[in-house]
Amino acid sequence: MTTTKIAFIGAGSVVFTQGLLADLFAFPELTDAHIALHDIDAERLATADGAARHIAAERGAAARITAHADRRAALEGADFVINIVQVGMGEATRTDFDVPARYGLRQTIGDTLGIGGIFRALRTFPLLKSLGDDISELCPDAWLLNYTNPMAMNVQYLSQATGLTRVVGLCHSVYWTMRDLSELLGVAYEDVNYLAAGVNHQAWVLRFEQGGTDLYPRLDALVADDPQLRRRVRVDMYRRLGHYPTETSEHSAEYVPWYLHHAEEIERLRLPVGAYLGIVDENVAEYEKTRAALASGSPLPVEGTMEYAPQVIHSIVTGTPRTVYGNVPNRGLIDNLPASGTVEVPCLVDALGVQPTRIGALPAQCAALNRTYLSMNDLVVRAALYDEPRHIRQAAMTDPATAAALPVERIWDLCDDMVRAHGEALQPSLRAVLGN
């Protein structure tokens, strides 16, 4: 049997790499895989290499582990490519928060929509284009499993700019939402049946059942009896839209115009403005902790994370069927969303690959929000595909939270300042300062 080669692009995201490897090596059929690690940061790459070897030894895996400063060497002959790159790392993320904050624009996470999402995408697209070109040349049959945000924009760009067809975006939001809802209602997750669909970080729980019984009425009663539960954005959205959203309140608040622009709503719904900056600091601290532990010869124990990528790889390699939630081009999967957009739907995975489920139409009120989200995404992708810097500003004008907070001239000024701040990270055609 041929050894499975799995390339990690951005392996210097060490904590995430560790979790994925712990999950991979939990499958006996993958313990002899070739793990090819790539990162442009030599220190982080060395730390990832050390952590991978420790995890393999701890799990009794006979994996071949190689570390590559050269991405092409890591990709050569790969069966699977896991993309976990964050272009610009924490410094770029701080820029995504600091510059908009000077305009009075509030963000909580800033990685999916809004000004933060737009510019995270624009500085990631050049990497995705070169990565896609390398995959087409060096491992054209590989599955590209993308974790890098903004998920929906990145998958749309990959599908339209590179021609790759074996691309799926993976996110744990649906899985953890359903685990949390099950725990909230006091039912075992394993006994629950559910269906969700929409777009990444704004999908909707369409069915939530146990033994054929709808669990939504029990959730309604719980919400009605608990005023503190009602002080959460996703619960507020659920009460008004009728379907529970599959991402946290901190994320969800950024994708609509109703919350972050209003100080009283921030207080009522306990929204932590700028929360992601704390997460950035925590990630750095975790990396330093891991690096120090490896240097002292006492690596930290790493638990499995139940991420989708190892499950996808195992199913394709062994033919074991399972369902995961994937982000894929729409192409008729959801009738009332744009065909060119990226949607999140359940996908059957087996030896034939990732096979998305056709959903039909979403509830009209859910589709209405998703269409705005996908319209903004489309403009950002078009900016890169057609070298049109005006589309960046038009995307920001379309974004609900940005449009709620700023007049149009200030939106254009903000985009100019963000272009200046990110400078060389953008493709040359998008570096123009346009004025308002």
Q: pLDDT tens digit string along 59-109?
A: 899 999 999 999 999 999 999 999 999 998 888 999 999 999 999 999 999
C-alpha span between 396 and 400 (Å, rounded)? 8
H or E, element range at 71: helix 71-75
Question: What is the DSSP pairing of strand 167-170 with strand 322-329?
Answer: antiparallel
List Cβ neighbours of 227 (8 Å cut-off, separation of 6 or more).
none
Cβ contact 424:87 at 8 Å: no
Query: What letter represents residue 234's amino acid?
Result: R
Q: Which of 34, 68, 172, 262 is catalytic?
A: 172
Which residue, among 168, 165, 173, has the nearest Cα to 154 in the 3D structure? Answer: 168
Which residue, among 386, 387, 409, 389, has the nearest Cα to 397 in the 3D structure? Answer: 409
Q: Please list the ranges in the chain whose pLDDT falls under 70.
A: 1, 299
Cβ contact 295:332 at 8 Å: no
Altogether, the residues listed in the chain come to a count of: 436
C-alpha distances out from residue 305 to 49, 189, 190, 259, 426, Å: 19, 16, 17, 32, 33
C-alpha distances out from residue 37 to 32, 49, 78, 99, 340, Å: 15, 7, 11, 34, 32
Q: Which two tokens stand for residue 358?
A: 């056709």
List Cβ neighbours of 71 (8 Å cut-off, separation of 6 or more).
9, 38, 131, 134
Please, what CATH class does the domain formed by 5-169 belong to?
A: alpha beta
Which residue, among 146, 110, 151, has the nearest Cα to 381 in the 3D structure? Answer: 151
Q: Quote the longest CA-to-CA distance of the chain.
A: 61
Q: Is 193 helix (H, G, I), strand (E, B) or coil?
A: strand
C-alpha span between 343 and 337 (Å, rounded)? 8
Query: Does 172 participate in catalysis according to the annotation?
Result: yes
Cβ contact 431:384 at 8 Å: no
List Cβ neighbours of 161 (8 Å cut-off, separation of 6 or more).
125, 128, 129, 132, 384, 385
Q: How many CA atoms lie less than 13 Å away from 255 in the CB half-sphere? A: 30
H or E, element range at 247: none
Q: Which two tokens stand for residue 70?
A: 């050269």
Residue 291: predicted pLDDT: 80
Residues 278, 281, 283, 284: what is their CA dihedral angle, to the nearest 10 degrees?
A: 180
Q: Which two tokens stand for residue 80?
A: 């699977």
